[in-house]
Structure 1
Amino acid sequence: MDAFYAQFVRPGDLVFDIGAHVGDRVGSFRRLGARVVAVEPQPPCTRALRAIYGSDDGVTVVEAVCAEAAGRVAFNVNSANPTISTASTDFIRAADGAAGWEGERWDARIEVGSVTLDDLVAHHGVPAFVKIDVEGFEDAVLAGLSRPVPALSFEFTTIGREVARRCLRRATALGFHAFNLALGDTMALASPQWMSEARMAAHLRSLPYEVNSGDVYCRSARRPR
């Protein structure tokens, strides 16, 4: 994981981890020498993050949903599988009855505060990398960003390809020009060449349903290494 993220993160960088869960990526970013703002709405997860990183001045935990606007958001909890808890009701509808998602139940709803990426930039500075993994709410997260950053990633699922398409459009509007992807949790870029928005959109459309999920990586102007 560290070797993979090293192509996006350097010592001294600031990273936003949107959908931090219990911090496996946070640990990687810290080992790479980055400061991390970890945004996570689920109280059990934020308690875990604070237990693990509470004495680390390089980690700031924000208990909130990252969204298009600041305020309050209804958040749907999957108690048996909290990694797929989500603020997106469209995601829940898409998963209902879908192959590979059988038996998933979002059995509780909590109301939590929301922040935007612009809010986080205003409070913490401009990140070198933003990781977004929020179960079908990625487009809402990107809608709350109005300025480019050097690089970011967003999760996609094959039950919600239109969300990824909206994310690509938004990323392009923000100035990102090169795209790649990693399938599942492979931590490896699937293409030796970075793609245009159009090529990435076509690639996502062509992926077999069984791929299930992965992450799209977006790069703006190349940073000198």
Structure 2
Amino acid sequence: MTATAETLPAGAAARLKTALGVARSLVIYYGQPWRRAALKRFYRDLVAPGDLVFDIGAHVGSRSQTLLSLGARVVAVEPQPAFAALLDRHLASRLVALERVAVGAEEGEVTLRISSRHPTVTTVSDRFIDGVRDTDGFREVVWDQAITLPMTTLDRLIASHGLPAFCKIDVEGAEADILRGLSQPVALIAFEYIPAMPAITREAVTRLMQLGPYRFNRVIGETHRFVSSGWVDAEALLAGLDALPPDAPSGDVYARLAA
């Protein structure tokens, strides 16, 4: 009989589910080379060789690999053990550092909630889980594991590695919390937005405007092209996001410090 998650002991079943979830992510992010080529073209206009970049929520390393291929110096941050182990095996020697920690508003410890079957949506945010569990794409997700791990801040990462030219944040609902742990502007920041949770995006944009005169644009999903032909102010960005239905695709907000 072929072993399945249902026929294995609990611990082995969880490991099998996680392995399948990681494999699914690898197929999505590495099995479509045209998307990776589009991402490289997109980043080439934003990141220069030698730039220091923080990849917060590095996942399976697709963004880090692309940034490395452009000559950037990358600090990858990934608290999910399965993804961190993958990065350690395949990318660590090329990185400035691999940080196996969560990032938040303050230093300390935090509970990381993991879905064995869908490890991509691992999160430290109970608010995120409550906000998406009844939306399309999340109804089958069960966060069946929890681990405690250290939490640091962007300020602490900057103290350790230097001020990045670009900081990408993709952490399933903790984006605004992470920006509260930053006390100086970064030239370019990208963070995930989820139409079903507009308050988090608004909080993140508000925090950025407290740090400096930012202009904004956004990308839908994995399209790797900006929605607007030019960079807009915070009010225009938020108005556009507020007009989206809750089940619209998620994407990334890009914030660029105005000259």
Q: TM-score, normalised by structure 2?
A: 0.83
**CA offset at residue 130 of structure 1?**
0.2
Match of 1:30 in 2: 68
Report the aligned-residue RMSD.
Answer: 1.1
**Residue 143 of structure 2 is aligned to residue 106 of structure 1:** yes
SS in 2 for 1:136: coil
For residues 61 and 116 of structure 2, the distance between their equivalents in structure 1, rounded to whole angstroms, comes to 18
For residues 213 and 88 of structure 1, the distance between their equivalents in structure 2, rounded to whole angstroms, comes to 17
Letter in 2 for 1:43: P
Match of 1:12 in 2: 50
**Residue 80 of structure 2 is aligned to residue 42 of structure 1:** yes
For residues 211 and 186 of structure 1, the distance between their equivalents in structure 2, rounded to whole angstroms, comes to 14
Match of 2:93 in 1: 55
> Which segment drifts farther, 150-159 or 169-178?
169-178
**CA offset at residue 208 of structure 1?**
2.7
CA contact (8 A) 1:131 1:154 kept: yes
For residues 31 and 87 of structure 1, the distance between their equivalents in structure 2, rounded to whole angstroms, comes to 30
**Residue 109 of structure 2 is aligned to residue 72 of structure 1:** yes
**CA offset at residue 55 of structure 1?**
2.5
> Which segment drifts farther, 157-166 or 92-101?
92-101
Match of 2:172 in 1: 135
**CA offset at residue 129 of structure 1?**
0.2
**Residue 194 of structure 2 is aligned to residue 152 of structure 1:** no
For residues 176 and 92 of structure 2, the distance between their equivalents in structure 1, rounded to whole angstroms, comes to 30
Match of 1:210 in 2: 247
**CA offset at residue 154 of structure 1?**
0.5
Unaligned runs of 5+ in 1: none
**Residue 237 of structure 2 is aligned to residue 200 of structure 1:** yes
CA contact (8 A) 2:135 2:247 kept: no
For residues 94 and 210 of structure 1, the distance between their equivalents in structure 2, rounded to whole angstroms, comes to 12
**CA offset at residue 177 of structure 1?**
2.1
Letter in 1 for 2:249: N
Task: Give the aligned length.
Answer: 221
CA contact (8 A) 1:184 1:211 kept: no
**CA offset at residue 166 of structure 1?**
0.2
4+ runs deviating over 4 angstroms: none
CA contact (8 A) 1:130 1:152 kept: yes
For residues 110 and 213 of structure 2, the distance between their equivalents in structure 1, rounded to whole angstroms, comes to 28
Superposition pairs of residues 85-124 of structure 1, within 5 angstroms: 85-124=122-161
**Residue 200 of structure 2 is aligned to residue 163 of structure 1:** yes
CA contact (8 A) 2:196 2:247 kept: no
**CA offset at residue 212 of structure 1?**
2.7
For residues 40 and 99 of structure 1, the distance between their equivalents in structure 2, rounded to whole angstroms, comes to 26
**CA offset at residue 95 of structure 1?**
1.5
**CA offset at residue 98 of structure 1?**
1.8
Match of 2:19 in 1: none
For residues 159 and 198 of structure 2, the distance between their equivalents in structure 1, rounded to whole angstroms, comes to 31
Aligned-residue identity in percent: 41
Q: Which has the higher helix share?
A: 2
**CA offset at residue 60 of structure 1?**
1.1
Change (3 A) 1:170 1:103: same
CA contact (8 A) 2:76 2:97 kept: yes
Structure with higher Rg: it is 2
For residues 131 and 102 of structure 2, the distance between their equivalents in structure 1, rounded to whole angstroms, comes to 21
For residues 87 and 137 of structure 2, the distance between their equivalents in structure 1, rounded to whole angstroms, comes to 29
